[in-house]
Amino acid sequence: MSSTHTRPATGHDVIRVGTRGSALATTQTGHVARRLEELTGRTIETVRIRTDGDVLTGSLAQMGGTGVFVTALREALLDGRCDVAVHSLKDLPTTPAPGLTVVTPEREDPRDALCARDGLTIATLPRGAHVGTGSPRRAAQLRSVRPDLDVVDIRGNVDTRLRRVHGEDADLDAVVLAYAGLSRLGRLDAVTEVIDTTVMAPAAGQGALAVEVRTSELDDPVVAAALDALDHEPTRLAVLAERALLARLEAGCAAPVGAHALVDGGEVTLTAVVARVDGVEQLTHSARALLPATGGDLRAARDDVALRLGERVADALLADGAGRLAPLGPPADAARTAESSLPGAGGPGRGSVTDAPDPAVEAAREQLRDGGYRGEPA
What's CA 48's distance to the chain center, in Å?
Answer: 22
Interatomic CA distance for residues 36 and 231, integer angstroms: 12
Give the type of residue at 155: R
For helices 23-40 and 221-230, angle between their N-to-C axes, nearest 10 degrees: 120
Q: How far is CA 1 from CA 49, 221, 314, in A?
A: 7, 31, 36
Bridge partners (DSSP) listed for residue 112? 178
Of 91, 112, 303, 320, the catalytic one is: 91
Could you confirm whether 220 is annotated as catalytic?
A: no
Name the burial class of residue 61, with classes exposed (0-12), middle (13-18) and buried (19+) by CB atoms within 10 angstroms of its CB.
Answer: middle
Q: CA-to-CA distance for 29 and 36, rounded, in angstroms?
A: 10
Cα–Cα distances in Å, from 120 out to 92, 190, 239, 374, 375?
33, 11, 31, 11, 9
- Do residues 87 and 72 lie in contact, with contact meaning Cβ atoms separated by under 8 Å? no
Question: What distances in angstroms separate CA 275 from CA 144, 175, 280, 311, one per listed residue?
Answer: 9, 20, 8, 18
CA dihedral 132, 326, 145, 61 (to 10 degrees): -10
Residue 371 class from Cβ within 10 Å (0-12 exposed, 13-18 middle, 19+ buried)?
Answer: exposed
For residue 209, the surrounding DSSP H or E stretch is strand 209-214
Burial letters for 214-233: b for 16+ Cβ neighbours within 10 Å, e otherwise?
beebeebeebeebbeebbbe
CA distance 354 to 274: 13
- Single-letter residue type at 59: S
Residues marked active site are found at 91
